[in-house]
A and B are shown apart, each in its own frame.
Chain A
Amino acid sequence: MDNATEVKTSQLAYGPTEWDDYDVPPLTTGLSNEKMTMWAFLGSDCLLFASLISTYLLLRNRVGPDTEGSTAADLFDIPFTSVSSFVLLMSSLTMVLAVTSIGRGELERCKMWLLTTAILGTVFIAGQVYEFTGFYREGLGFTTNISSSAFFTLTGFHGVHVSLGIIMLVTLWSLISRGNIGAERAETVEIIGLYWHFVDIVWIVIFAVVYLIP
């Protein structure tokens, strides 16, 4: 290893600094690098979903000259999707309760809320799989027409986001169970929570714009 990298800031000419307790220097803003990065990622992810939603809105009624069949909007089951939306919305509550629990040092309660959030997310994904299967049985596949492609791409991307969130939640639950994450690293739970709430707000937009607005 390069000797220069082994020199601690406390050994430098300007003496000890308040950074010495950190593995990496904090930002000059005094904010957490990880949290800042997550917010930047979420901001950029807004662009991804704006593009996908815009594409769907442009193509929602297009079945194309060479293809036929119904559009996804013809097959929507609004009562069923409403229940799925409610489940995802409530998972945001359980997530925020997990964050407050670990903030108070209540690890067992935090684990319970994390697991509840993961289960609610899984219920949402199961609902999406059920919906997609129903569409397929009605003859609406990914390549049936340009409208269906846009719909499955949009909702599929959101489903992938939720699935990744579930994996993160279960991993977090496992790390806390094994003692790798304690109350002193509550920010880790908060950052995962930010991601989870983001997939919720994206669904709030998709549910209104894609499913409910005629």
Chain B
Amino acid sequence: MNVITDSHAEGTDEHEDHGLSDVGYIKIALLLAVLTAIEVLTYFVDFGVLEVPSLLILMVVKFQIVISYFMHLKFDNKIFSYLFITGLVLAVVVFAAMATSLVFWTDPAGCDAGRFC
């Protein structure tokens, strides 16, 4: 059936069948804002070897929160999740194929894909 956010308990953030209340969504947005602030903080503060892993983890967490709550995948029919995840997995495969070129492939002139040429 058509799934529409139906929050009868306005003013609370209790889970309903198909989503959160408005207050719940505002709390989610605040969480996303905090995570973004931490991301930006890595630009001003030296996180050392933790910088890249922490940025990647924050990115994945933000991505997950948006698709789960704002896009309702957490509450919706699983078929929608499967459709989207299929595209996402293929996208990761494309990305992984690119990553191999940074490691394994160089041209005969020694032009490394990751360097200035």
Please list the residues of chain A having a beta carbon within 8 angstroms of any beta carbon in chain B.
29-32, 35-36, 39-40, 42-47, 49-51, 53-55, 57-58, 61-65, 78-79, 82, 85-86, 89-90, 92-93, 95-97, 99-100, 102-104, 186-187, 190, 193-194, 197-198, 200-201, 204-205, 207-209, 212-214
Which residues on B sit within 8 Å (CB–CB) of A58? 98, 101-102, 113
Contact of B29 among A32, A57, A92, A104 (CB under 8 A): A92
5 smallest A-B Cβ distances: which pairs?
A: A43-B87, A50-B91, A54-B98, A93-B29, A208-B59
Contact with A along B31-62 (1 / 0, CB 8 A): 01100100110110000000110011011001
Contact of A82 among B28, B36, B94 (CB under 8 A): B36
Once the chains bind, are A78 and B43 in contact (CB under 8 Å)? yes
Once the chains bind, are B66 and A212 in contact (CB under 8 Å)? no
24 sampled A-B residue pairs with Cβ under 8 A: A31-B1, A32-B1, A35-B2, A36-B83, A39-B83, A43-B83, A43-B86, A43-B87, A46-B91, A47-B91, A50-B95, A58-B101, A58-B102, A58-B113, A78-B43, A100-B7, A103-B4, A201-B63, A204-B62, A204-B63, A208-B55, A208-B58, A212-B40, A212-B42
Most buried by A among B6, B98, B101: B98
Q: Which residue of B lies closest to A48 (CB)?
A: B91
| Distance between Cα atoms of A35 and B2 in the complex (Å) | 8
Once the chains bind, are A36 and B58 in contact (CB under 8 Å)? no
Once the chains bind, are B5 and A78 in contact (CB under 8 Å)? no
| Distance between Cα atoms of A80 and B50 in the complex (Å) | 24
User: B7 to nearest A CB, angstroms?
Assistant: 6
Once the chains bind, are B7 and A103 in contact (CB under 8 Å)? yes
Which residues on A sit within 8 Å (CB–CB) of B19? 100
Knowing A54-B95, A100-B7, the reply to whether A213 touches B29 (Cβ < 8 A) is: no
Which residues on B sit within 8 Å (CB–CB) of A104? 6-7, 10
Contact of A29 among B42, B79, B91 (CB under 8 A): B79
| Distance between Cα atoms of A57 and B102 in the complex (Å) | 9
B12 CB–A CB distance under 8 Å: no
Contact of A62 among B43, B101, B116 (CB under 8 A): B116
Once the chains bind, are A36 and B25 in contact (CB under 8 Å)? no
| Distance between Cα atoms of A6 and B63 in the complex (Å) | 47
Once the chains bind, are B59 and A205 in contact (CB under 8 Å)? yes
Once the chains bind, are A86 and B36 in contact (CB under 8 Å)? yes
Which residues on A sit within 8 Å (CB–CB) of B101? 58
Which residues on B sit within 8 Å (CB–CB) of A30? 1
Once the chains bind, are B66 and A204 in contact (CB under 8 Å)? yes
Contact with A along B65-94 (1 / 0, CB 8 A): 011011110000101100111111011101
Which residues on A sit within 8 Å (CB–CB) of B110? none
User: B73 to nearest A CB, angstroms?
Assistant: 9
User: B103 to nearest A CB, angstroms?
Assistant: 12
